[in-house]
Chain A
Amino acid sequence: MNITVRVWRQEGPAATGHLETIEATDVSADSSFLEMLDLVNERLISAGREPIAFDHDCREGICGMCSLVIDGVPHGPRRATTTCQLHMRSFTDGATITIEPFRAKAFGVLRDLVVDRSGFDRIIQAGGYASVNTGGAPDANAIPIGKGEADLAMDAAACIGCGACVAACPNASAMLFTAAKVAHYGHLPQGEPERDRRVTRMVETMDAEGFGNCRNYYECEAACPKEIPVDFIAELNRDFRRATVQGGSR
């Protein structure tokens, strides 16, 4: 197939960027979106030009490194699909596809389509963990956990931290990411001792990083490649209310 890409080019964090239009001819409908970009890059390099910088790693939908806002939607038009798992057959022959970086003050552009998502790391450092004492390995299944709770914890843990929620949110809020991380511990007994501290510190860091405020638009949920539901945001709100307004103790 033949397509036209309008892709964001920006030399560095301080440079002003622009959309560049590139014709991509002879693209296989069975190639992935990133393979299409690989092809474009090989041709750019052959022509002695700078390839388009974009993030990727596993290319199998589990690492959360790929990003890209494709025609206004993070990870493109297919629901529950990361950019690396998206294929060109999802587009029509002759289409013009606009590719932009994730946009947020907290996600500065480093180069072209690559943004700095280290703000997420700092949110995790603030509370996305459970403290354990070192020593002999504890017995497996020493703490019984109900199937329902274990499943909810797993649903939350499905978050790959890609940042699509921030990119999709009109307010550039990181609430879905933070809520998933809070819930993933909140549904397990191991997370209980640090419950209050976790939610307050993670929210504090999220605010300090310059992410916006959640206004319950639920755009994040629709953009999330792992279909994390906004129900976890309600859980974060509940934990936060209990921890601060209702004078939590932990």
Chain B
Amino acid sequence: MTSLSHGLGSSVGRKLVVAVTGLALLGFVLGHMVGNLQLFLGQDALNGYAALIKSKPALLWGARLGLLAFVGAHVVLALELAAENKAARPHGYAAPGRIQSTPNARSMTLTGLMILAFVIYHLAHLTWGVTHPADHALVQTLADGTTRPDVFSAVVLGFQDPLVAGAYLVAMLLLGLHIGHGIQSVFQSLGLTTSSSRGTFAKLGAGLTWLIVIGNCAMPVAVLAGVITLPEGVA
């Protein structure tokens, strides 16, 4: 009988891994968004949330390494499948046609790679403090005199720059294209789609995609529009 590793190495098996890791990344994106929406609750809420995460290093590093593994598997396998697909049609059509495949389905590799580039920029901005070191070094002093990183102000200062906010907005639209095809695709790859559930999964995908795009875009838009401003004393 076919072994597990042999099965997972096949076309269908690798696509299954892309689907499972894509689903896990989607879960992360949702959780990440819900946490970050505390930006709307103010400096204390967001900074408290950031401090809470940082206070559990074992959990934090476990999640980070897990995410790294998922992203790695997702990207490597997706690119490998894409390269094989290119090789499977060495001679293209002189008059190529398209019937019902969507442009976002056909640009998964491109949108995926651009998301990857954005993720690296995003980490350099807010996690590593490479692009805005002064913002990254800001601290909030609490009533008892202790200090904690002022994530809230770093985010707001970043988004006050239209170029930075614009990069985030564009990236979220690209993510929307990616998961707009990806979510319904996961159900197909996992073999859960049936003729009666297909429409439901497509709607679920569209709904979740809009939720994620709107939720994430709300933050830079609110800062640009002046709805969210810097706390007193931060310049």
> A interface vs B, CB < 8 Å?
6, 8, 19, 69, 71-73, 98, 100, 103-106, 168, 170-173, 196-197, 200, 203-204, 206-207, 210-219, 221-223, 229-231, 233-241, 243-245, 247-249
Contacts and interface: CB of A to CB of B under 8 A. Distances in A.
Given A196-B1, A243-B2, A244-B13, A213 B84 contact: yes
Interface residues of B, number: 49
Contact of B194 (A71, A234, A241): A234
B4 interface: yes
Contacts of B105: 215-217
B7 A237 contact: no
B12 interface: yes
Interface of B: 1-4, 6-8, 10-16, 81, 84-85, 87-102, 105-106, 108, 181, 184-185, 187-195, 198
A237 B106 CA distance: 20
Given A213-B81, A245-B4, A231 B194 contact: yes
Contact of B99 (A171, A173, A223): A223
B84 A212 contact: yes
Given A103-B92, A244-B13, A200 B7 contact: yes
6 contacts: A72-B96, A103-B91, A200-B2, A216-B185, A216-B188, A243-B7
A218 B6 CA distance: 26
B6 A203 contact: no
Nearest to B184: A216
Contacts of B96: 72
Nearest to B90: A105
A85 to B, nearest CB: 18
B4 A247 contact: yes
The residue among A69, A200, A234 with the most chain B CB atoms within 10 A of its own CB is A234
B14 A244 contact: no
A176 to B, nearest CB: 12
Contacts of B194: 231, 234
Contact of A237 (B1, B4, B12): B12
A197 B1 CA distance: 8
A179 B11 CA distance: 13
A116 to B, nearest CB: 14
A219 B96 CA distance: 12
Given A171-B88, A212-B89, A229-B195, A244 B4 contact: yes
B85 A241 contact: no
Contacts of B108: 215
B97 A215 contact: no
Contacts of A173: 11, 85, 88
A197 B7 CA distance: 12
Contact of A170 (B4, B12, B95, B106): B106
Contact of A100 (B90, B94, B99, B195): B94
B87 A218 contact: no
B8 to A, nearest CB: 7
Contact of B97 (A71, A196, A229): A71
A237 B189 contact: yes
B183 to A, nearest CB: 11
A1 B186 CA distance: 48
A72 to B, nearest CB: 2
B191 A213 contact: no
B4 A231 contact: no
Contacts of B84: 212-213
Contact of A213 (B6, B85, B95, B187): B85
Contacts of B4: 244-245, 247
Contacts of A206: 11
Nearest to A152: B195
Contacts of A216: 105, 181, 184-185, 188-189
Given A105-B89, A214-B15, A240 B94 contact: no
